[in-house]
């Protein structure tokens, strides 16, 4: 059984290690730095198939992503596999609870955990836990992302999990005790803030326990309080650890620079910053599982109030891409999906989604640049990008994207653009990724066909 | 058969009498009797639409507040408006209503949101040396906790609040900030976040205590926590008898807070709560901006208020041709026909432009979605989402000149006809209203034929020449009136009405009918029922 390395060990000795990736050996017997990483990516409201998939190169290994929404991945297309005709069943705006889970319910409820939750559980069950179980990231997702249309991350009970939307909070959680000066980390203000957070959560937990005892509730109602208490405990686990107040952190200069970059970073920088945070967390083995979720699926109001919807306040468009001096995109991501390619909103939609893919490509490139033995950290990772459907205007589940980046542990051929010719349900893709992590059998979604996609080869 | 259709067909008895799909229904009298059958008696009508006999009581003691209710409760207790920003609990929307208890839980995501809401409270109080008049000390926190608990906070909760305040002060927070953080924590106290209905002495049928009934009345009729005077009245014995509870309910229904609460229900019922987020193509509808949305909402609110100030009847609400603000919204009503004070091309709330625009698409009407919603909300007919169907029979929108031309084929396609023989007539009737809710007679240069027939239910709408005739007939149909009772019952008690609730709904429907379908009387009838005053005995009752 492999002991998770302490963060300070990694900083002292570096992450270089002889990397062996024997296909025949179970991957859970590998050294900690070699263990596979998993990232699931969600960009909602369909993918605009006409602008997403390359016209040529299907099935012949010679595809080019230039000019498409996936263009930022072009330099890494040899480590990218793209499926053209994956099918998501049901109302696409009801897919969020189901897109990465084994659940079948709509209306905000899922029967079970999302794939990232299952992978993290698998690691923990094998004694391969990391200081942080997983990172659940939201990029320009509204508020703490408590809504059913925002967070595809579901716990074992199928309940939605909050996303971290502030890069600074993520940085502090991961690296606060490794960076900066003792004075900053251990100032009175910092100590007070941490004390307040812990005290409030502690008071919540004892209040729930007391209510349970006092009310003498029916088992069904006790479940409501159990879930409340679990929610509090989950948040307690996410609190930044007590910092080291005896010596300065000694973090590499790149992490110090990242810490400076996240402070007050504008929204336009959040995608790449979050990608770097995930990459560094992987490099230092602080976690091996992450989910990266953009924007918000469907519906633009909640409780009768317009939500502080994604992109409208900050995205600037010029010549097909984000540009800080470009024109304001003054509407919501969902709204953009309901316009044709030759409309202004359609062009904005392409640019916004390309910007999001750019963040994913940035993550992949960062991992690719980290050598591990004969390969790279990207080879040891699987990034899975999916959406709720294909044509978001017509709410069609056909031509939904399934993009795999990284090594997939050699179980899925990479550098391939495949159109299966008939429907492949999104559950088949999840099945294949789950198999690559040796997850026990799970039924994904309500798909009638749950065979892994490997049958296509 | 999908869960939704199974549920719909099981619960909605009149849906079983599907004349348009399944053929004719025989007369209620002997077949040999010539001529049209006599209309059923009022009692028979109520039994037809709510036939279930086994009455059961609500099996709950914990009712989580919606995010809006929690916000209102906190603001009322503090006596100040809080800038909540985006901090908000996730309220599971079940069918239409963001309060169905089956989904009202507190997972990690909601705990996170709750902490954010607590931070907003702390921010609001941090600069206030008087702490909103509570005095920034333990005694003040106790008073606040009692108010938030709608009467009396448990001693253990008060002790916990005091201990938290002491810890925060010991950590070095100045008094207002420490008090603010403790106040923020109190939002998550179980007795604040949840309405608890433990009731009086355990019995097979547990009567709620007067305080619990006061709280229940306030949420039933106003959608917010009970004010101090109502709490005091309950504590002084003014709600000890069913007659007193009814009298109080009647008084509360005349308060402006009832009209606001009813407005929230109507907005969720017909989906126009989404009007604020409705966006339209700027090329096709350049006038549809924030100001326009605001004026549409003003019109809706004024329309409902006008009905309530008149006869307050559901029939009027759904069929009146008066109260449309044709002068205030000239760009919207340019195509309408107005005569005297009546807008001849409109009838009732459903045909208000804001209601129509709220759930239409950015560029298209989304005619079938619109029709499905009307069938669901007005007739309680739940049609399943199309699943795994071959859409190749459907003409491309660019190839068809009208929605009728596009979708008529589906009424004859075997895998689609079951739903589309219901959807199509409704969808085509409403095509005379564009995505912005404007009246039109043509689209793409082609005349719109809004005529059709809907022949299902106990009192079918039958043939109609347009949506105005459709809504006029629907408003007077027992199917729509009963469905409204069912919707209001589900909203009021946060549940899916099932056969076990039929006796309560039948009782309320009879009172509603006797009162000429006055909206206020329906909610008073809910308050009068034993379903409100009692709950069922549960495991764990002491």
- Report pLDDT digits (tens) over A218-256: 777 788 888 899 889 888 877 766 776 776 667 788 898
SS (H, E, C) B179-218: HHHHHHHHCCCHHHHEEECCCCCCCCEEECCHHHHHHHHH
Q: Which two tokens stand for residue A345?
A: 């909103």
The answer to whether residue B2 neighbours chain A at the CB level (below 8 Å) is no
Q: What is the average pLDDT across B20-28?
A: 38
pLDDT at residue B18 above 90? Answer: no
Annotate B47-73 with DSSP letters as a single string. Answer: HHHS----------SEEEPPHHHHHHH
* End-to-end Cα, chain A, rounded Å: 35
Reported pTM: 0.81
Alpha-carbon distance of A247 to A231, in angstroms, equals: 34
Q: Which two tokens stand for residue B298?
A: 């003003």
pLDDT in tens, A103-162: 555 444 566 889 999 999 988 888 878 888 999 999 988 754 445 556 888 888 777 788
Contact A332 B279 (CB under 8 A): yes
Position B8 confidence tier, pLDDT thresholds 50, 70, 90: very low
Give the pLDDT confidence score for residue A3 in this predicted structure. Answer: 33
Measured CA distances, B63 to A69, A252, B101, B494 (Å): 46, 51, 7, 8
CB A55 within 8 A of CB A456: no
Q: What is the average pLDDT across B425-435?
A: 96
Give the pLDDT confidence score for residue A9 in this predicted structure. Answer: 39
Position B472 confidence tier, pLDDT thresholds 50, 70, 90: very high
Give the pLDDT confidence score for residue B481 in this predicted structure. Answer: 96
Chain B neighbors of A338, CB-CB under 8 A: 361-363
pLDDT at residue B16 above 60? Answer: no
A392 strand-pairing partners:
none
Share of chain B above pLDDT 90, in %: 57
Alpha-carbon distance of B385 to B391, in angstroms, equals: 13
Give the pLDDT confidence score for residue B43 in this predicted structure. Answer: 73
Contact B168 A196 (CB under 8 A): yes
Q: Residue B297 contacts by C-beta under 8 Å, 6 or more apart in sequence? A: B275, B276, B354
Contact B277 A91 (CB under 8 A): no
- CA neighbor of A170 nearest in space, from A261, A246, A233: A261
A318 strand-pairing partners:
A321
Largest CA-CA distance found in chain B, in angstroms, rounded: 90
- SS3 state at A162: coil
Chain A neighbors of B110, CB-CB under 8 A: 146, 231
Q: What's the mean pLDDT when you consider all of chain A?
A: 81
Q: How far is CA A22 from the centre of its chain?
A: 27
pLDDT at residue B267 above 90? Answer: yes
Chain B neighbors of A144, CB-CB under 8 A: 87, 109, 112-113, 116
Least confident of A164-178, A249-263, A312-326, A443-457: A443-457
Share of chain A above pLDDT 70, in %: 79
pLDDT at residue A11 above 50? Answer: no
Least confident of A368-377, B74-83, B105-114, B297-306: B105-114
Angle between helices B290-309 and B256-270 (to 10 degrees): 120
Annotate B237-282 with DSSP letters as a single string. Answer: TTTSSHHHHHHHHHHHHTSHHHHHHHHHHHHHHHTGGGGGG----T
Give the pLDDT confidence score for residue A302 in this predicted structure. Answer: 63
The answer to whether residue B106 neighbours chain A at the CB level (below 8 Å) is yes
Q: Which two tokens stand for residue A334?
A: 């969902």
Contact B113 A305 (CB under 8 A): no
Chain A and chain B share a number of CB contacts under 8 A equal to: 212
The distance of B339 to chain A (nearest Cα, Å) reads 34
The answer to whether residue B123 neighbours chain A at the CB level (below 8 Å) is no
Tell me which residue in B86, B163, B172 faces A142 most closely, judged by beta carbons.
B86
CB A54 within 8 A of CB A63: yes
Q: What interface predicted TM-score (ipTM) does this complex get?
A: 0.77
Q: Which residue has the higher pLDDT, B1 or A308?
A: A308
- SS3 state at A11: helix
Alpha-carbon distance of A396 to A408, in angstroms, equals: 28
CA-nearest residue to B364 within chain A is A338
Give the pLDDT confidence score for residue B334 in this predicted structure. Answer: 96
Half-sphere exposure of B464 (CA within 13 A, CB side): 22
Q: What is the average pLDDT across A450-455?
A: 72
pLDDT in tens, A304-359: 666 656 787 799 999 999 999 999 998 888 889 989 899 999 999 999 999 999 99
CB A93 within 8 A of CB A333: no
Contact B59 A203 (CB under 8 A): no
Q: What is the average pLDDT across B340-364?
A: 94
Give the pLDDT confidence score for residue B395 in this predicted structure. Answer: 66
Q: Which residue has the higher pLDDT, B397 or B82?
A: B82
Chain B neighbors of A159, CB-CB under 8 A: 105, 107-109
Which of B68, B102, B109 is the best mutation test for A, with the most CBs of A within 10 A? B109
- SS3 state at B338: strand
């Amino acid at each position: 059984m492999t002991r998770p390395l302490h963060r300070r060990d990694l900083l002292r000795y570096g992450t270089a290690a002889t990397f062996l990736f024997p296909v025949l050996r179970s991957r859970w017997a590998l050294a900690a730095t070699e263990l596979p990483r998993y990232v699931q990516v969600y960009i909602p409201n369909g993918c605009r198939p006409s602008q997403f998939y390359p016209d040529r190169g299907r099935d012949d290994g010679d595809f080019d992503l230039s000019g498409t929404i996936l263009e930022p991945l072009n330099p890494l297309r040899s480590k990218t596999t793209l499926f053209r005709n994956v099918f998501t069943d049901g109302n696409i705006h009801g897919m969020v609870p189901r897109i990465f889970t084994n659940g079948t319910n709509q209306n905000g409820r899922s029967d079970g955990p999302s794939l990232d939750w299952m992978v993290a559980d698998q690691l923990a069950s094998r004694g391969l836990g990391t200081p942080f179980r997983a990172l659940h990231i939201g990029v320009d997702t509204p508020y703490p992302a408590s809504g059913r249309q925002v967070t595809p991350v579901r716990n074992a009970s199928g309940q939605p999990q909050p996303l971290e939307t502030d890069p600074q909070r993520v940085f502090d959680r991961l690296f606060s005790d490794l960076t900066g000066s003792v004075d900053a980390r251990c100032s009175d203000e910092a100590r007070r803030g941490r004390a307040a957070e812990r005290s409030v959560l502690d008071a919540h937990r004892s209040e729930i326990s007391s209510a349970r005892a006092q009310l003498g509730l029916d088992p069904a109602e006790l479940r409501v309080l159990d879930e409340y208490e679990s929610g509090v405990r989950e948040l307690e686990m996410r609190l930044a650890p007590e910092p080291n107040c005896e010596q300065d952190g000694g973090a590499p200069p790149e992490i110090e620079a990242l810490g400076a970059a996240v402070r007050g970073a504008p929204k336009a920088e959040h995608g790449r910053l979050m990608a770097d945070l995930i990459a560094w967390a992987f490099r230092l083995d602080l976690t091996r599982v992450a989910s990266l979720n953009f924007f918000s699926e469907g519906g633009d109001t909640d409780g009768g109030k317009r939500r502080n919807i994604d992109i409208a306040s900050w995205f600037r468009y010029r010549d097909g891409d984000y540009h800080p001096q470009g024109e304001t995109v003054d509407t919501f991501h969902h709204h953009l999906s309901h316009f044709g390619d030759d409309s202004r909103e359609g062009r904005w939609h392409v640019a916004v989604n390309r910007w999001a893919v750019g963040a994913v490509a940035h993550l992949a490139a960062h991992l690719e640049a980290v050598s591990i033995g004969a390969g790279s950290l990207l080879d040891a990772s699987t990034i899975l990008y999916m959406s709720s459907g294909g044509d978001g205007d017509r709410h069609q589940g056909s031509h939904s994207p399934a993009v795999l980046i990284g090594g997939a542990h050699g179980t899925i051929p990479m550098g391939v653009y495949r159109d299966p010719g008939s429907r492949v349900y999104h559950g088949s893709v999840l099945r294949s990724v789950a198999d690559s992590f040796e997850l026990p059998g799970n039924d994904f979604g309500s798909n009638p066909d749950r065979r892994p996609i490997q049958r296509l080869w | 058969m999908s869960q939704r259709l199974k549920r719909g067909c099981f619960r909605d008895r009149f849906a079983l009498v599907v004349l348009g799909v399944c053929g004719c229904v025989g007369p209620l009298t002997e077949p040999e009797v010539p001529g049209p059958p006599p209309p059923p008696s009022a009692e028979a009508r109520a039994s037809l639409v709510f036939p279930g006999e086994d009455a059961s009581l609500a099996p709950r003691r914990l009712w989580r507040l919606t995010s809006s209710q929690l916000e209102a409760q906190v603001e009322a207790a503090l006596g100040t408006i809080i800038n909540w920003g985006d901090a908000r609990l996730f309220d599971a929307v079940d069918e239409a209503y963001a309060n169905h208890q089956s989904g009202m839980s507190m997972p990690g995501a909601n705990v996170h949101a709750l902490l954010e809401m607590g931070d907003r409270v702390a921010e609001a109080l941090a600069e206030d040396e008087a702490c909103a008049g509570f005095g920034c000390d333990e005694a003040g926190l106790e008073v606040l906790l009692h108010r938030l608990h709608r009467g009396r906070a448990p001693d253990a909760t008060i002790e916990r609040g005091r201990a938290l305040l002491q810890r925060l002060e010991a950590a070095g927070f100045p008094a207002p900030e420490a008090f603010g953080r403790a106040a923020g924590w109190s939002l998550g106290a179980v007795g604040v976040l949840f309405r608890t209905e433990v009731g009086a002495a355990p019995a097979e049928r547990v009567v709620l205590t007067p305080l619990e009934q006061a709280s229940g009345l306030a949420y039933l009729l106003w959608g917010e926590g009970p004010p101090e005077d109502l709490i005091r009245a309950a504590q002084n014995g003014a709600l000890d008898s069913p007659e007193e509870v009814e009298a109080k309910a009647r008084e509360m229904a005349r308060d402006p807070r009832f009209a606001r609460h009813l407005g929230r229900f109507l907005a969720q019922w017909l989906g126009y709560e989404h009007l604020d987020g409705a966006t339209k193509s700027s090329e096709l509808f350049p006038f549809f901006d924030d100001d326009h949305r605001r004026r549409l909402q003003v019109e809706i609110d004024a329309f409902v208020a006008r009905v309530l100030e008149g006869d307050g009847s559901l029939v009027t609400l759904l069929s009146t041709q008066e109260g449309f603000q044709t002068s205030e919204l000239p760009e919207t009503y340019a195509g309408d026909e107005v005569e005297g004070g009546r807008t001849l091309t409109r009838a009732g709330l459903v045909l208000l432009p804001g209601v129509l625009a709220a759930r239409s698409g950015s560029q298209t009407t989304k005619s079938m979605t619109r029709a499905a919603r009307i069938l669901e909300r007005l007739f309680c007919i739940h049609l399943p989402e199309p699943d795994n169907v071959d859409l190749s029979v459907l003409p491309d929108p660019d190839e068809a000149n009208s929605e009728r031309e596009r979708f008529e084929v589906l009424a004859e396609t075997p895998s689609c006809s079951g739903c589309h023989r219901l959807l199509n007539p409704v969808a085509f009737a409403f095509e005379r209203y564009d995505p912005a809710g404007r009246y039109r007679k043509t689209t793409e240069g082609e005349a719109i034929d809004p005529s059709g027939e809907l022949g299902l239910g106990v009192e079918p709408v039958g043939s109609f020449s347009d949506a105005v005739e459709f809504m006029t007939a629907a408003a007077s149909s027992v199917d729509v009136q009963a469905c409204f009772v069912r919707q209001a019952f589900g909203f009021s008690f946060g549940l899916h009405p099932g056969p076990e609730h039929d006796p309560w709904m039948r009782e309320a429907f009879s009172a509603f009918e006797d009162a000429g379908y006055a909206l206020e009387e329906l909610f008073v009838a809910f308050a009068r029922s034993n379903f409100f005053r009692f709950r069922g005995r549960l495991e764990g009752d002491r």
